[in-house]
Amino acid sequence: MISPNIAIVGAGPGGLIAARMLQRHGIDVTVYDADATADARDAGGSLDLHADTGQIALTDAGLLDAFMAVARVEDQSKRNMDRHGAVTGTFEPEEGDTAAPEIDRGQLRALIAAHVDPASVRWGHKLVAAAPAGDGRHRLEFANGATVEADLVIGADGVWSKVRPLVSDGGPEYSGVSFLDVRYDDAARRHPAVAQLVDRGHLFVRGDDGNAIIAQRNSNGVIRGYVAMRTDHDWAAQAGVRMDDRAAVHAYLLKQFDGWVPELLPFLTESEEYIDRAIWFMPAPPAWERTRGVTLLGDAAHAMGPFGGHGVNLALLDAVELAHAIAEEPTLDDALRRYEPVMQARAGGLAASSNRATRAFFGIGTDDIEHLAPDHAEEHRRYIEGAADYRRIRAATGTWQIAFEVPGGTRPAELSLQATHDGLAGALDGTPLDSAYFDTEGKLRIRVAVEEPIPGTMPCEATIDGDNITGTAEHPMGTLPFSGARKQTA
């Protein structure tokens, strides 16, 4: 591919890791972000990076070791309480469990930013308008007066994306839930009541009144969290409460949380500051008409409710998959054709369940309570198994030139396998596979229709070892061994 001019809008985790991956592939890219620097803004609380998504992305980007060096494995523990202070559930990770370690948001952003060519990031560039410029190119206009044109614009600019209107008229909807971002510095010394209740990891306190307190241990003795309320997105304006008027915030919250036990009230009144973060998300599943020269990733594509903890993980995985597609496909159009359907389908299911869980947690549509107390041990097992599946599927993806041993010789064939959002699809000599999946023992199992000598179905089992494949096919003529190798692309 001739070196295209690629612009990424947004230097959050998704945009930065996309830049890092493209640069690793030797592809030039420029990233534009509204922030003045990587640490100009308080990035927010703690995030857990899952083995089957975020950690896969960091591994591809060569950043897993750097992540593990600062990640807090011990903070995977969780405790649930009710508003009367009664503990309703706990989760302690087993020794060696690294399915979902925690990292401060600021640390994650800094870690990725440190591995992107600094000359390729334009801080202080807030996108205000984006428009087609003909022939698949787009023109970007920034608040500081700068303008650029690009062959590919990657919208990584979060839930309020200014790139999204190039592909869709849709926008985010209000969840019915507003969070106040709260922070307790030097918690052990200055906020002992908060520190004692949170201990390690996460504390979820769910009231039956549409309110909740979610607190998380961060690094450097800091505890952060959210005071969460089922309310209007503009509740503060309606009540005439300014975030910098601590007395007004305290009075409002104490009234709102009336009936909560006194030991939980320091969470409301001891925060160093209050940041209003109303929860908006995109309707699921994400969908838009494929548009030449523009695509979306992360929250710009599929902002979702935070209950599920998928947002940043998907942003990271979207970004590395998009970068691989750009590097490996012959044209940008082919890259988007490969990237978008898999990303949209994968995010669709997770976004629907996360949005539902967010509303259910606050008693909006309370029929669905399946996510109120997730089974964290089961979740961790799923992340680990999902990671193994993802890697097996990745290793199988491609075109394989194989030869069946038939009576009197060999018969060549071409097997193609592609990753889908939930597994594998493909074709044998152009005939679409009926199914393709890895069984519990890690064997690739394929079924495909055959016409000769009699019409029927041919089940195959195969083992992939690097660029080699060996297996057997149960053909109407009998069991046919086959072997072959990955077709190398030029």
Show the binding pattern over residues 123-142: x = contacts ligand FAD (CB under 6 A), - = does not: --xxx---------------
**Torsion sign over Cα 32, 35, 40, 45:** negative
Sheet of 152-155, strand order: 121-122, 30-32, 6-9, 152-155, 294-296
Determine which residue in the list 162, 164, 224, 376 makes contact with ligand FAD, applying CB under 6 A: 162
The answer to whether 155 contacts ligand FAD (rule: CB under 6 A) is no
Q: Which of 100, 150, 156, 342 touches ligand FAD by CB under 6 A? A: 156
- Residue of the chain from 33, 151, 321, 340 that contacts ligand FAD (CB under 6 A): 33
Strands 137-142 and 223-230 turn out to be unpaired
* 471 lines the binding site for ligand FAD (CB under 6 A): no
- Which span (84-92, 122-130, 185-193, 370-378) binds ligand FAD, by CB under 6 A? 122-130
# residues contacting ligand FAD (CB under 6 A): 33
For residues 361 and 212, the answer to whether their CB atoms sit within 8 Å is: yes
**CA–CA distance, 130 with 109 (Å, rounded to integer):** 25
Please choose, out of 249-257, 287-295, 311-319, 389-397, the segment that lies near ligand FAD by the rule CB under 6 A.
311-319
**Cis peptide leading into 453, omega within 30 of 0?**
yes
Residue 461, amino acid: E
Nearer to ligand FAD, 139 or 445 (CB): 139
Contact status: 306 vs ligand FAD (CB under 6 A) = yes
CB of 343 to ligand FAD, least distance (A): 12
Tell me which stretch binds ligand FAD (CB under 6 A): 200-208, 298-306, 348-356, 426-434: 298-306
> Site for ligand FAD (CB under 6 A): which residue of 4, 7, 14, 20?
14
355 close to 281: Cβ distance less than 8 angstroms: yes
Stretch that binds ligand FAD, among 121-129, 331-339, 385-393, 467-475 (CB under 6 A): 121-129
Closest residue by Cα to residue 174 from 261, 85, 258, 280? 280
CA nearest 99: which of 440, 421, 385?
Answer: 385
Nearer to ligand FAD, 343 or 424 (CB): 343
In whole angstroms, give the CA distance from residue 275 to residue 281. 18
- Considering the complex, what minimum distance in angstroms separates the CB of residue 309 from ligand FAD? 4
Strand partners, 445: 437, 461
* 8 A C-beta contact, residue 215 and residue 267: yes
* C-alpha span between 151 and 136 (Å, rounded): 7
Please give the sequence-ordered ranges of beta strands (E in DSSP) within 135-273, or none if there are none.
Answer: 137-142, 147-150, 152-155, 173-184, 202-206, 211-217, 223-230
Applying CB under 6 A, which of residues 75, 104, 157, 340 lies at the interface with ligand FAD? 157
For 253, the enclosing helix (H) or strand (E) is helix 246-256
338 binds ligand FAD (CB under 6 A): no
- Per CB under 6 A, the segment of 297-305, 365-373, 417-425, 426-434 that binds ligand FAD is 297-305
Query: Closer to ligand FAD at the Cβ: 153 or 393?
Result: 153
Scan residues 167-186 and list those touching ligand FAD (CB under 6 A). 179
- Residue 48 DSSP one-character state: E
Q: Report if residue 464 touches ligand FAD, rule: CB under 6 A.
A: no
Please state the closest distance from residue 64 (CB atom) to ligand FAD, in A.
17
Residue written as token pair 């997770």: 350
For 230, residues 6+ apart whose C-beta sits below 8 A from its C-beta are: 176, 177, 210, 211, 362, 363, 364
When the beta carbons of 15 and 398 are compared against ligand FAD, the nearer one is: 15
Q: Which residues in 226-285 contact ligand FAD (CB under 6 A)?
A: 226, 277, 279
Interface with ligand FAD includes 47 (CB under 6 A)? Answer: yes
Task: For residues 31 and 154, give the distance between their C-alpha atoms in angstroms, rounded to a whole number.
Answer: 9
Choose one: 6-14, 259-267, 348-356, 416-424; the region binding ligand FAD (CB under 6 A).
6-14
Q: What is the smallest separation between the CB atom of 454 and ligand FAD, expressed in angstroms?
A: 52
Residue 10 touching ligand FAD (CB under 6 A): yes
Among the residue ranges 93-101, 150-158, 193-201, 325-333, the one whose residues contact ligand FAD (CB under 6 A): 150-158
CA 334/CA 340 separation, integer angstroms: 10
Residue 173 or 434 with smaller CB distance to ligand FAD: 173
* Size of the chain in residues: 490
Residues that bind ligand FAD (CB under 6 A): 9-15, 32-35, 47, 125-127, 156-158, 162, 179, 226, 277, 279, 298-300, 306, 309-313, 315
